[in-house]
A and B are shown apart, each in its own frame.
Chain A
């Protein structure tokens, strides 16, 4: 971003009338991120990021490319270099925990690309999602098959042979195997055929209605804001606006700068 663009972006912050900038929520946040600085190696991406997800809440992060949206998720999962600030989950710091331990705490993560094991069958993909348990939780596999019936049909098929939409279901099913309290979704609609996108969002709605809090990063910002409880607008690795989805959608500045009018 050039200096001029940065300045004009600053001016727009001041001009923001309706969209809120109160990034923290008052109480009962299960995920509580405060003043987070993080990046990769020496490269800092996130600066002073504040983000909360309440129990059973549906939160999306939107913003331009390179805003650090995915970095927030990866940082929650301990996959980036932590440079400052805190990340708490259900009242405990999860900073510095291995991904294996973070899963135990009750967080599931569906990354954007390559999110299934192509050489494993659908069922084996799901089983791997419950690796940390001693026994394969058959009832949970049944629950996931009930939610995504096509996966029951394809149970023995290699995940690499599935369509994009079906793979996304496998990836979500894998992350739901331990019935997490919070599900992190990185661009769930990426690479899906347009007619499958709203179907995918419906599925996410249902996962959330079943009591799983969702934190989602989406390119398809309008659709994501329409469906979520609250949205965060991230720019250049910093918080810009935070408000209920419909408020962000109706805010003129947000519409113009981040939603393409």
Chain B
């Protein structure tokens, strides 16, 4: 026992930051317990219902899944092409607009001009938002929309690669990063040009048909469930592809060692194209699902979301697909549960605070150092 104690003391001495975080975490847990018990102990404690904590955690998981899904592509392109793609957030927006355009076209065909439906705009006195699209009334349209979001964004990602990144394949990461900022601006303002710049409502509320999980005090709505199922399904498919197909193995091989992949005879360009298709497609799908969650859309929401996506990917260990998912969940849960202690205006700050702590204490990230792609 004595040795264990001293080794704990030693490691605390060696890493004072870790001790600080452990103490802070402990304090927050004690505070949380006091809040749940409804006890006030000077500065800590207060009151918090189990229901509120449960619903915070649940919405954190849902938004975390969407962020994690978006992060997969960012992490893949980082590990296989060695650059941080700043256009990734705008791919998220593209998926949302194109997917919802198709979903509306299917849901509202005939009642509203097709052009207005496809561009998710108002036409005369009929707005696409008035269709009242939601998963219970128009499930087919919403599923086809998800597929369209994936396909259109994947195609755009490949097109951007051919136009901008492929000619620069041998350049360093900084040059490619700057090129991707240019690509991001082009895509973002083309979106504004085609779809307009106003924020608008997209989906109808499904609160009326919430499913209550009484013991947990949770009330889950159909859109959150849709997101859970779709995101987990896509993640599982991604995992199966990475671990059990030749293409997936080649992707992991390229992420491990590009030079060796080359002399092994792995066709690099084909793997890169597949990476853009899958990474871009998942970004598009995540954008579509994000709008399903939030209910509104705006041409630059993906760009604004990119910071959180980057935070998730860095937290998980950049380059790791599984790290991106784990990082997304952590960021999502921190984002929503931090409102227990701080005003909700600062919840983004809490998410980045956690990311910065992670960088200080474990710079390689949650999954860094374990090569999982």
State the A residues within 8 Å of B (CB).
77, 79, 99-100, 103-104, 109, 111, 114-120, 124, 127-129, 131-132, 136, 158, 160, 174
- Say whether B263 contacts A77, CB under 8 Å: yes
Q: How far is the CB of A92 from chain B (nearest CB, A)?
A: 18
Q: Which residues of A contact B372 (CB under 8 A)?
A: 119
Verify if B43 is at the interface (C-beta below 8 Å from A).
no
A interface footprint on B225-259 (CB within 8 Å = 1, 0 otherwise)? 00000000000000000000010011011011101
Shortest Cβ distance from B254 into A: residue: A117
Provide the residues of chain A in CB contact with B259, threshold 8 Å: 111, 114
Q: A119-B373, A128-B249 are in contact. Are A100 and B256 (CB under 8 A)?
A: no
4 new A-B contacts, CB < 8 A, other than A117-B261, A124-B253, A160-B371, are A77-B263, A111-B259, A114-B260, A120-B253
Given contacts A111-B260, A127-B246, A160-B371, contact A117 B267 (CB under 8 A): no
Among candidates A77, A131, A160, residue contacting B266 with C-beta atoms closer than 8 Å: A131
> B256–A117 contact, CB under 8 A?
yes
**Quick one: given A119-B252, A119-B371, A120-B252, are A131 and B246 in contact (CB under 8 Å)?**
yes
**Cβ of B256: which chain A residues have Cβ within 8 Å of it?**
117-120
B266-A128 in contact (CB<8A): yes
Closest residue of B by beta carbon distance from A130: B265
Task: Report how far A99 CA is from B265 CA in the complex, Å.
Answer: 6
Interface membership of B262, Cβ < 8 A: yes
Contact check, A117 vs B265: say whether CB atoms are below 8 A apart.
no
Q: Is the interface of B mostly helix, strand, loop or mixed?
A: helix
Q: Is the CB of B246 within 8 A of A117?
A: no
Shortest CB–CB separation between residue A78 and chain B, in angstroms?
9
Question: Are A128 and B373 within 8 A (Cβ)?
Answer: no
Whether A118 lies near B371 (C-beta < 8 A) is yes
A114-B264 Cα distance, complex, nearest whole Å: 12
Residue contacts A-B, CB under 8 angstroms, 10 given:
A109-B263, A111-B260, A117-B253, A117-B260, A119-B256, A119-B372, A129-B265, A136-B246, A158-B371, A174-B264
Measured CB to CB, the closest approach of chain A to B373, in angstroms, equals 7
Chain B residue with the shortest CB-CB distance to A184: B263
A128 touches B253 (CB 8 A): yes
* B contact residues, total (Cβ < 8 Å): 20
- Chain A CB within 10 Å, residue with most, of B257, B260, B261, B373: B260
Complexed CA–CA distance, A119 and B253 (Å): 8
In the complex, chain B residues whose CB is within 8 Å of the CB of A124: 249, 252-253
Residue of A111, A120, A127 ringed by the most chain B CB atoms within 10 A = A120
**Residue in chain B with minimal CB distance to A127:** B249
- In the complex, chain B residues whose CB is within 8 Å of the CB of A115: 260
Inside 8 A of A132's CB, which chain B residues have their CB? 265
Of the candidates A99, A103, A115, A131, the one having the most CB atoms from chain B within 10 angstroms of its own CB is: A131
A108: shortest Cβ distance to chain B, in Å? 9
A103 to B372, CA, bound (A): 27
Cα–Cα distance between A111 and B261 once the two chains are bound (Å): 12
Considering only CB atoms, which chain A residue lies closest to B253 in the complex?
A: A117
- Across the interface, which residues of B come within 8 angstroms of A119, CB to CB? 252, 255-256, 371-373
User: How many Å lie between the Cα of A117 and that of B248 in the bound state?
Assistant: 14
Which A residues lie within 8 Å of B261 (CB)?
A: 117, 128
In the assembly, what is the distance between CA of A230 and CA of B260, in Å? Answer: 28
User: Contact between B371 and A99 (Cβ–Cβ < 8 Å)?
Assistant: no
* Chain B residues whose C-beta falls within 8 Å of the C-beta of A131 in the assembled complex: 246, 250, 264-267
Chain B residue at minimal CB-CB distance from A158 = B371
Which residues on B sit within 8 Å (CB–CB) of A136?
246
Cα A160 to Cα B373 with chains together (Å): 14
Residue interface bits B362-373, CB-to-A below 8 A is 1, else 0: 000000000111
| Complex Cα–Cα for A116 and B252 (A) | 12
In the complex, which residues of chain A have a beta carbon less than 8 angstroms from the beta carbon of B263?
77, 79, 99, 103, 109, 111
Complex alpha-carbon distance, A77 and B253, angstroms: 19
The chain B residue sitting closest to A135, CB to CB, is B246
What is the minimal beta-carbon distance from A105 to any residue of chain B, in angstroms?
Answer: 11
Nearest-neighbour CB distance to chain B for A37, whole angstroms, equals: 22
Name which residue of chain A comes closest to B247, CB basis: A131
Residues of B with C-beta under 8 A to A77: 263
| In the complex, chain A residues whose CB is within 8 Å of the CB of B246 | 127, 131, 136
In the complex, per-residue mask of B341-373: 1 if CB is within 8 Å of any chain A CB, else 0: 000000000000000000000000000000111
| Binary interface encoding of chain B residues 254-297 relative to chain A, with 1 for a CB under 8 A from any of its CBs, else 0 | 01110111111111000000000000000000000000000000
Which residues of A have CB within 8 Å of B253?
117, 120, 124, 128
Of A79, A128, A158, A160, the residue contacting B264 (CB under 8 A) is A128
Complex: A120 Cα to B257 Cα, angstroms: 11
Chain A minimum-CB-distance residue to B248: A124
Given A117-B256, A120-B253, does the pair A103, B265 have CB atoms closer than 8 Å? Answer: yes
Distance A178 CA – B265 CA, assembled complex (angstroms): 11
Taking the closest CB of chain B, its distance from the CB of A26, in whole angstroms, is: 31
From residue 207 to 228 of chain B, which have CB atoms closer than 8 A to chain A? none
Q: How far is A248 from B255 in the complex, measured between Cα atoms in Å?
A: 43
Query: From residue A193, how far is it (CB to closest CB) to chain B in Å?
Result: 23
Contact status A100-B260, CB under 8 Å: no
A110 to chain B: closest residue by CB: B263
